[in-house]
Amino acid sequence: MRLFILSLTLIITINTMAQDIYNIPVKDNKGNETNLSAYKGKVLLIVNTATECGFTPQYDDLDELYATYRDKGFEILDFPCNQFGGQAPGTDEEIHQFCTMRFHTEFPRFKKIDVNGENESPLYTYLKAQKGFAGFDPNHKLGPVLDKMMRDADPDYEKKSDIKWNFTKFLVDQNGNVVQRFEPTADKTALAPAIEALLK
């Protein structure tokens, strides 16, 4: 009996830990308090974005992934961030208009946030604690550029879990587990197989 109770307690604890992501407070793009509970049971790709970045064309990739997998239980959650090169300078409404008119995006967009530092979103505190830096792709044209820039600022940057740049992506499974982190140099060819594996 005692073993059963201990096992049940462990199962409940693990389940609660996995569900934590759904209870973290965030704000929608209108500034209303909310959380991610509406996305329970879905595969999520959580992305910090910017509208004036070398990676901004990835909105096309994201929109293509969304169109391909949304009916199978996939959602992309867009969190604009202006911390990297000041490359998301607009208001929440301006950013939303840019993304919907320029890239025709349809996935949910939230209020602009910080992903590092004193005022970082608790969502990103959680995500970074689950998955550390995954490394820039040296074969991507911007991979060596980012590596040099980061290494010049901090020779040990690879050992830290902070968000390095715009369009860092976290893949979350249907149970709320953060299963993989993709750096900005990862494109749809890397993302699609990982998403498909979770949707099976």
Is the CB of residue 43 less than 8 Å from the CB of residue 74? yes
CA distance 21 to 156: 29
Q: Reduced to 3 states, what is the DSSP secondary structure of residue 97? A: helix
Residues whose CB is less than 8 angstroms from the CB of residue 112 and which lie 6 or more positions away in sequence, other chains included: 79, 80, 81, 82, 88, 92, 95
Q: Which of 53, 62, 134, 146 is catalytic?
A: 53
Residues whose CB is less than 8 angstroms from the CB of residue 194 and which lie 6 or more positions away in sequence, other chains included: 171, 179, 180, 182
Catalytic-residue membership of 53: yes
Q: Please identify every residue annotated as catalytic.
A: 53
